[in-house]
Amino acid sequence: MAAAAALRELADDQLIDQIGELKQELFNLRFQFATGQLENSARMSQVKRDIARINTILREREIAAAEAATAENNS
């Protein structure tokens, strides 16, 4: 599980790459669950939360950039 503070230090490209890796892991976990091979079912929830956490950080940055652009245009 990645802490939000540690994730905020990463660049957008790194976060997007990490989302891709987590989605691949989630796919594999779902496959293991379907075949009855999954030992740690809590890992699925952790991966989903990490994906949501990264998406939230990316969205916060997007909103901050839009607000900065709006403030620049109004000045």
pLDDT at 2: 72
Q: Can you give the pLDDT at residue 43? A: 96
Yes or no: say if 57 and 15 are a contact pair by the CB < 8 Å rule.
yes
How far apart are the C-alpha atoms of 23 and 45, rounded to whole Å?
12
Domains delineated in the chain: 4-74 (1.10.287.310)
Per-residue pLDDT tens for 11-62?
999 999 999 999 999 999 999 999 999 999 999 999 999 999 999 999 999 9
Cβ neighbours for 33, distance < 8 A, ≥ 6 positions apart: 41, 44
